[in-house]
Amino acid sequence: MAISETSLKDVLLFTFDEINKAGGVLGKQLQLIIVDDEGKGDKGVAAIEKLATVDKVDVLIGGIASGVALAQVPTMKKYQIVTVATGAAASTTVEKALGPSPDSDWYFHLHPWDYNQGQSYADGWDAIQKKYPAIKINRIFLAYEEGAFGKSSFDASKAIFGTRYQFDGASFKSALQGGSDYSAVLEAAKEFKPDLFLWAGYAQDALPLLEQSKAMKFSPPVYLGAPPAWPADMSKSPLAENVMLYGMWAQSINDISAASKKFYDAYVKAVGTAPTSYFAALSYSAVYIVADGIKRAGGTDKAKLIAALEATKYASPLGETITFSPSNIIKHQGIRNQKILQWQNGRQEVIWPFEVQSKPIVYPFPAW
Amino acid sequence: MRRPLSFLIPLLALAAAALLPLVSGPYPLAVARSVLTYMALAISWDMLLRSGQISFGIAGFFGLGAYAAALSVLRGGMSPILSILFAGVFAGAVALILGLVILRLRAVYFSITTLALAEIFRVIIQNWSDFTGGPEGLVLPKLIFNGESKSLYWLVLAAVVIACAASTMFEKSRIRLALSAIRNNEQSAAASGIGIFKYLLVAFVVSSFIQGIVGGIQLQGYGFASPDAVFDSNYTLLPLAMALLGGIHGTPGPVIGALLLGIAAEFLKLHIPYGHLVVYGIIIVLVILFMPQGLYGLLRSRRHAVAPVAENRVDAGAWGK
């Protein structure tokens, strides 16, 4: 097996260790081979070539960046190794490049596509407004980092929210790309007077954006962030209080899910800190889904393994049971929903879906 | 003895490189493709450096080439091979136009301008969404040669051969003398009747042409271009580090540097999976600090230091007779 993101190596290492200590799969120990794609397309392709031809792996697990996945798709198609992908949300490029069934039936996509995410946000905010009549959202402003991630977030959000809400947005240069000044985009947002302010960037943008929002006294009724991960010390920052976020997993899910608690305890024991990204829970889930699939398939025969994975019903630490069903193009799409969360007293609390809600929403976002 | 060897070694190296796909699998070929890509960029960067002008615009012309190739296929219906040539011509033409202005700058002013140009290209392409696909980029319907590993490798190797041929031509022709004269003392060179601007323009256009070609090949080999991917600063920094490691002001240095750093990067990744980039960075810093003339420069200086002693011995023997 293999994973191609070193940022997720810790969780993969302890998950394999956990499974192997429990006796492995079908009496055999699982072997993990890690190759770093360095977040670059050419390195990602070389990694697939190595894993396919030198290591001859049975299953590929991993991936985050859509750009790397896009470069890898032609090579992955060449070998058609059973793949459980934990990232790559860009449907217009990656899903399109994969193509429809049966040519992409070896590919199991766990992470929601961008249109899945957009739809789940729309559903979430509809449900929240219905449950809490005091919350009225008419105007939405999206501040997005100027790269592919931010632009695809803007396009998907505009397509879904633009017809029903007054929607506007502006881009900023992410701190990840050397940016540090968010005043222009915050000024534009302040002038727009949004009921919901959303930013789509990276972990490095989180605290500077909040600092500058505070300096500019910008406190919209809903202040929402959607980075793939948050800074490790975000929970300790007073700036985080009552900021809302999108994500798939939060520590608060431990209160209602034994699977989440098991994952969390194992993670903290192995890594020494709490997970800062839902990709940790997603990767943990990916390994268990594969292990369970191999068990039910009676081995790693490709056709049998694909059939077994198609029948997956995994009670994941994400607070939902993962199954696979067709998406717009591919046959095997796993998770479709993100969750709406909120920082409360240094912890991410689930606000929506209500069936896994851990705390009621704090609204409006308090003035600085 | 030196003259035949100077031909024989590159020919043997080329033959070995050309035959590599017959004896290795897809993984070494994928790594080799990456190494050769950076090698061609390192050689092209060095060609302009011989005039004393340090360009930080490699990623700019590389990215421009990638987009020129993508757009010529997707909007112009051009064949993949033609699109690669078009990428080179387009990058060269842009360099020609811009060179008329920026080659009047010297030293750090020129370097900063080329760095800015690369960023300007990226910003224009990122914001011209209707035409270029914006930040999400462009995806080709299929890869050149249907993505067949050996053919893709030979295609990148062809770019290296073009770069080596152009670089050798620079070394063997009067261009070398002109560029060296400009680098050593521009006023003296001008006083000697050397057309400084003409030679700078030739070096800038040819190096940009090669960078454009390599960008076009990268696009055809991986099937997509996005501003983040093709204008990545690594396409400037790695070739520069490779040339500095191998040795500047000649063809062998960048070739050696690219081979060593490229292979070292992959080797370190496989053997130190959790810290390879740190070790890689330390190696680059140490080599540049303690071997500023590069490995090839070091070898040459040692050879020159040894050669007179050997000659003296022969002379002494002759006198003895």
β-bridge mates for residue A28, sequence order? A25
| Cβ neighbour number for residue B157 with a 10 Å cutoff | 20
Q: Do B147 and A74 touch (CB under 8 A)?
A: yes
CA distance A113 to chain B (A): 15
Model pLDDT for residues A102-131, shown as the tens digit of each residue? 999 999 999 999 889 888 999 999 999 999
Structure tokens at A194: 């949004």
Q: Tell me what the mean pLDDT of segment A166-195 comes to.
A: 94
Q: Tell me what the mean pLDDT of segment B118-123 comes to.
A: 94
Is B197 in CB contact (< 8 Å) with chain A?
Answer: no
CB A157 within 8 A of CB A142: yes
Structure tokens at A118: 């957009």
β-bridge mates for residue A343, sequence order? A348
Q: Do B136 and A50 touch (CB under 8 A)?
A: no
Q: Do B226 and A67 touch (CB under 8 A)?
A: yes
CB A135 within 8 A of CB A363: yes
Collapsing DSSP to helix, strand or coil, A59 comes out as strand
Neighboring chain A residues of B126 at a CB cutoff of 8 Å? 146
Where b means 16+ CB within 10 Å and e means fewer, B10-32 reads eeeeeeebeebbeeeebbbbbbb
Q: What's the pLDDT score for residue A49?
A: 93
Burial of B309 (0-12, 13-18, 19+ CB in 10 A): exposed
> Interface pTM (ipTM) of the complex?
0.79
Residue A262 confidence class, pLDDT cut points 50, 70, 90: very high
Q: What's the pLDDT score for residue B7?
A: 79
CB A85 within 8 A of CB A109: yes
Reply yes or no on whether the pLDDT at B319 is more than 70.
no
Helices (H), chain A: 9-21, 41-49, 66-79, 96-98, 114-131, 148-161, 183-192, 203-215, 258-271, 278-297, 302-310
Question: What is the CA angle A78-A84-A86, rounded to 5?
Answer: 115
β-bridge mates for residue A314, sequence order? A322
List the single best residue of B31, B33, B38, B136 to mutate versus A (max A Cβ within 10 A). B136
Reply yes or no on whether the pLDDT at A13 is more than 50.
yes
Structure tokens at A367: 């003035």
Is A54 in CB contact (< 8 Å) with chain B?
Answer: yes
Q: Using N-to-C axis directions, what is the helix angle for A258-271 and A278-297, rounded to 10°?
A: 110
Task: Quote the CA–CA distance of B40 and B255 in Å, as a whole number.
Answer: 8
Q: Do B222 and A45 touch (CB under 8 A)?
A: yes
The number of C-alpha atoms within 13 Å of A250 and in the hemisphere containing its C-beta is: 28
Phi-psi region of A219 (alpha: psi -120 to 50; beta: other; left: phi over 0): beta
Task: Quote the CA–CA distance of A88 and A360 in Å, as a whole number.
Answer: 31
Q: What's the pLDDT score for residue B314?
A: 36
Q: Do A36 and B33 touch (CB under 8 A)?
A: no
Tokens 């591919």 found at: A330
CB B258 within 8 A of CB B217: no
Counting residues of chain A whose pLDDT is more than 90, the rounded percentage is 75
Enter the DSSP assignment of A85.
Answer: E
B77: CATH: 1.10.3470.10
Model pLDDT for residues B191-223, shown as the tens digit of each residue? 888 889 999 999 999 999 999 999 999 999 999
Which one is predicted more confidently, A298 or B274?
A298
Model pLDDT for residues B224-268, shown as the tens digit of each residue? 999 988 999 889 989 998 999 899 999 999 999 999 989 988 888
Collapsing DSSP to helix, strand or coil, A222 comes out as strand
Is A28 in CB contact (< 8 Å) with chain B?
Answer: no
Question: What is the CA angle A89-A38-A208, rounded to 5?
Answer: 70
Q: What's the pLDDT score for residue A177?
A: 80
Q: Do B234 and A52 touch (CB under 8 A)?
A: no
Reply yes or no on whether the pLDDT at B315 is more than 80.
no
Amino acid letter, A182: Y
Counting residues of chain B whose pLDDT is more than 90, the rounded percentage is 62
Structural domain tally of chain B?
1
Dump the DSSP string for B139-155: E-SS-GGGG-HHHHHHH
Structure tokens at A177: 């790309």
CB A18 within 8 A of CB A290: no
Q: pLDDT averaged over chain A? A: 92
CB A143 within 8 A of CB A189: yes
| Cβ neighbour number for residue A163 with a 10 Å cutoff | 8
Model pLDDT for residues A202-261, shown as the tens digit of each residue? 889 999 999 999 999 999 999 999 988 888 888 889 999 999 999 999 999 999 899 999
Model pLDDT for residues B168-177, shown as the tens digit of each residue? 999 998 899 9
What is the signed CA dihedral for A177, A183, A184, A188, rounded to 10 degrees?
130
| Top-level class of domain A2-113+256-322 | alpha beta
Structure tokens at A209: 């954006």
Rg (CA), chain B: 21
Model pLDDT for residues B37-69, shown as the tens digit of each residue? 999 999 999 999 999 999 999 999 999 999 999
> Are both A2-113+256-322 and A115-253+339-356 of the same fold?
yes
Is B220 in CB contact (< 8 Å) with chain A?
Answer: no
Burial of A133 (0-12, 13-18, 19+ CB in 10 A): exposed
Residue A101 confidence class, pLDDT cut points 50, 70, 90: very high
Collapsing DSSP to helix, strand or coil, A242 comes out as coil
Which one is predicted more confidently, A265 or B311?
A265
Q: Do B223 and A74 touch (CB under 8 A)?
A: yes
Task: Quote the CA–CA distance of B167 and B42 in Å, as a whole number.
Answer: 11
CA distance B286 to chain A (A): 22
Task: Quote the CA–CA distance of B136 and A152 in Å, as a whole number.
Answer: 7
Collapsing DSSP to helix, strand or coil, A341 comes out as strand
Tokens 């696979």 found at: A324
Amino acid letter, B84: I
CA A190 to chain centre: 28
Extents of the domains making up chain A: 2-113+256-322, 115-253+339-356
Task: Quote the CA–CA distance of B131 and B188 in Å, as a whole number.
Answer: 48
Q: What's the pLDDT score for residue A58?
A: 97
Q: Is residue B288 part of a domain?
A: no
Where b means 16+ CB within 10 Å and e means fewer, B64-89 reads bbbbbbbbbbeeeebebeebbbbbbb
Rg (CA), chain A: 20
Q: Do A53 and B25 touch (CB under 8 A)?
A: yes
Is B145 in CB contact (< 8 Å) with chain A?
Answer: no
Q: What's the pLDDT score for residue B274?
A: 67
Structure tokens at B125: 């392409």
Task: Quote the CA–CA distance of A335 and A115 in Å, as a whole number.
Answer: 12
Residue B320 confidence class, pLDDT cut points 50, 70, 90: very low
Three-state helix/strand/coil letters over B284-320: HHHHHHHCCCHHHHHHHHHHHHHHHHHHHHHHHHHHH
The minimal CB distance from B139 to the residues A6, A34, A93 is found for A93
Q: Is residue B167 part of a domain?
A: yes
Neighboring chain A residues of B134 at a CB cutoff of 8 Å? 151
Is B113 in CB contact (< 8 Å) with chain A?
Answer: no
Task: Quote the CA–CA distance of A281 and B167 in Å, as a whole number.
Answer: 52
The minimal CB distance from B139 to the residues A53, A54, A97 is found for A97
Task: Quote the CA–CA distance of A194 and A224 in Å, as a whole number.
Answer: 11
Which H or E run includes B207? helix B196-222
Amino acid letter, B200: L
Q: Give the range of the structural domain holding residue B116, as residue numbers without chain letter.
A: 27-228
Model pLDDT for residues A61-100, shown as the tens digit of each residue? 998 888 889 889 999 999 999 999 998 888 888 999 999 9
CB A368 within 8 A of CB A214: yes
Question: Which is the CATH superfamily of the domain at A115-253+339-356?
Answer: Response regulator (3.40.50.2300)
